[in-house]
Amino acid sequence: MGSLPFTVSDLQTSVSGVRSNPTLLCTPLMGTTVEQMLTEMRKAKEIGADIVEIRLDCLRNFSPAQDLQILIKQSPLPTLVTYRPIWEGGQYEGDENKRQDALRLAMELGASYIDVELEVAHEFNNSIYGKKPQNFKVIVSSHNFHNTPSTEAIGNLVARIQASGADIVKIATTALDITDVARVLQVTVHSQVPTIAIVMGERGLISRLLSPKFGGYLTYGALEAGAISAPGQPTAKDLLDLYNFRLIKPDTKVYGIIGKPVGHSKSPLLFNAAFKKVGLNAVYVHLLVDDVEKFFNTYSAPDFISGCSCTIPHKEVAIKCMDTIDPIARKIGAINNIVRKPDGKLTAFNTDYIGAIEAIEDGLRESNGSSPAVGSPLAGKLFVVLGAGGAGKSLAYGAKEKGARVVVANRTFERAKDLADKVGGQALTLAEIENFHPEEGMILANTTSVGMKPKINDTPIPKHALKHYSLVFDAIYTPKDTRLLREAKESGKIIVYGTEMLIRQGFEQYKNFTGLPAPEELFRELMSKHA
């Protein structure tokens, strides 16, 4: 791979509990009673939040003098008090003077921060001039629930907030595209005043996760997934445990998975656990990307994005953004692993085929006792691929590369023919596979979706036809034990699970990202725990 993307100085010893950045983690309290909020405060502290945001507008029957006293005095964490009116996206509909009176009272009763909207900030800040307790700070906020304006408009907005007498600037815009985050960070990273910059919505997630990298004063983490105070807010637990929030620093390298949808991906779990264990100054995030080209054009710094995994629907289209591509990946026409070299150039791989082929090779070696040094046990074998989609291509090109003779069988014959011609092999329809046995000891790789949840009783080939094969691989991993693999096992065949392809393609990605050996044990442990 040439030079390693990480130098020795990048290697940090990061012990659990170590904190590498001053960015605060604030948990909003959304309870509708004082009692509920008191319970939520204790939970927030337990989870590891630094401060709690008391959302007064969520309280039913709020009685300022009594409730604020209890909430502020009994909080086990410093408090930020917000009383968001309906005109700024909150729930308060009442008299404006009473609202501001409650905020002033919160200040007097010992709140550490109050959040006041830009719209009324001048008036409010004038009213407390000379009365602010020591260490008390006013956050002046502005929310845009429609979009993220131009860089110039964001710059003007920040200037207006500063001029209103803010101790801390807060802007929250809405991401229509992940590249909107770049404009907000571009402005706020240079702000002279402490700044909270949030880009709401799933496409803005990185503004929240990476706030320590960009010097953010604070980020919000929900108590639970169902109790968010703004769109796209992660839970405090995910920030801390999944994304290693406390370890992120300005020079932390950012990796991620680009896809749409992408929120379900377990890759951040695997990579962040590995980075933490090895002590790499890196983080791996979910990246909901609509337009790949725009994404790579916008995020082109060597530490952001340092590399990414690539999933549906971008595996093919991302190719046009690459500077170099692994030759087999180019033939397959799909990439799933992108690495940015120190010179900024993007190199792409297809680790799916490597993962699957290596798993099959190891299965064969285990059964015949040969060592990896001997060469591929696939050389000269007849390798039957069922299916001619993306996974079918990966397996067919991968097997061909190892010197196997390839047969492609597909429901739609034309697709089988097309792929078989490219790998110099034979094409069949899926129906013909039952009576196809030109020789014994063949390899079978299913890449069709036949047998996948929920149709787990389906199988692409009758059991009796399996006797001509020595090894059966199924790319399906939901369920792990497909009917095909169960019947192959009963027939005494070597079987290779789809989960092996999945996990091994991850090993390859890790090696390409870091230049280090993959933490195989850890990946396997996490995969089985979170399957």
Instruction: Specify the residue, 267 or 410, whose C-beta has the smaller distance to ligand ATR.
Output: 410
How buried is 135 (Cβ within 10 angstroms: 0-12 exposed, 13-18 middle, 19+ buried)? Answer: exposed
Smallest separation (angstroms) from ligand ATR to the CB of 312:
8
User: Closest distance between ligand ATR and the C-beta of residue 410, in Å?
Assistant: 5
- Please write down the HEC assignment for all residues of 58-80: HCCCCCHHHHHHHHHHHCCCCEE
Instruction: Give catalytic status of residue 352 as yes or no.
Output: yes
Collapsing DSSP to helix, strand or coil, 340 comes out as: strand
Q: Which range binds ligand ATR by CB under 6 A, 107-115, 351-359, 377-385, 448-456?
A: 448-456
Q: What is the DSSP string of 17-71?
A: T------EEEEEE--SSHHHHHHHHHHHHHHT-SEEEEEGGG-SS--HHHHHHHH
Among residues 50, 115, 143, 276, the one annotated as catalytic is: 143
Of residues 353 and 513, the one with the C-beta less far from ligand ATR: 353
Residue 410 within binding range of ligand ATR, rule CB under 6 A:
yes
The nearest distance, CB 480 to ligand ATR, in angstroms, is 17
| HEC assignment per residue over 258-298 | EECCCCCCCHHHHHHHHHHHHCECEEEEEEECCCHHHHHHH
498 touches ligand ATR by CB under 6 A: no
Q: Which of 336, 350, 447, 512 binds ligand ATR (CB under 6 A)?
A: 447
Cβ distance to ligand ATR smaller for residue 179 or 446: 446
Interface with ligand ATR, residue 387, by CB under 6 A: yes
Task: Round to the nearest angstrom and report the end-to-end CA distance of the chain.
Answer: 31
d(CA 518, CA 511): 6
352, 400, 402, 474: which is the annotated catalytic residue?
352
Q: Which of 315, 331, 393, 493 is catalytic?
A: 315
Counting contacts by CB under 6 A, is residue 390 touching ligand ATR?
A: yes
One of 170, 253, 286, 314 is an active-site residue; which one? 170
> Per rule CB under 6 A, is residue 252 in the interface with ligand ATR?
no
Q: Which listed residue (51, 236, 305, 388) binds ligand ATR by CB under 6 A?
A: 388
Nearer to ligand ATR, 186 or 429 (CB): 429
392 binds ligand ATR (CB under 6 A): yes
CB of 325: closest distance to ligand ATR in angstroms?
Answer: 18
Residue whose beta carbon is closest to ligand ATR: 389
Helix (H, G, I), strand (E, B) or coil at 486: helix
Residues touching ligand ATR, count (CB under 6 A): 15
Site for ligand ATR contains 425 (CB under 6 A): no
Stretch that binds ligand ATR, among 215-223, 239-247, 271-279, 445-453 (CB under 6 A): 445-453
CA distance 286 to 297: 18
270-283: burial string, b at 16+ Cβ within 10 Å, e else: bbbbbbbebebbbb
3-state secondary structure of 308: strand
Instruction: Name residues whose C-beta falls within 8 Å of residue 272's C-beta, 6 or more positions apart in sequence.
Output: 242, 243, 244, 283, 284
As a whole number of angstroms, the distance between CA 346 and CA 299 comes to 12
Q: Distance (Å, rounded) from C-alpha 260 to C-alpha 311?
A: 8
Q: Measured from the CB of residue 240, what is the shortest distance to ligand ATR in angstroms?
A: 35
What is the CB-side half-sphere exposure of residue 170 using CA atoms within 13 A? 23
Contacts of ligand ATR in 120-159 (CB under 6 A): none
Residues annotated catalytic, as ranges: 143, 170, 315, 352
Binding site for ligand ATR (CB under 6 A): 387-392, 410-412, 415, 430, 447-450
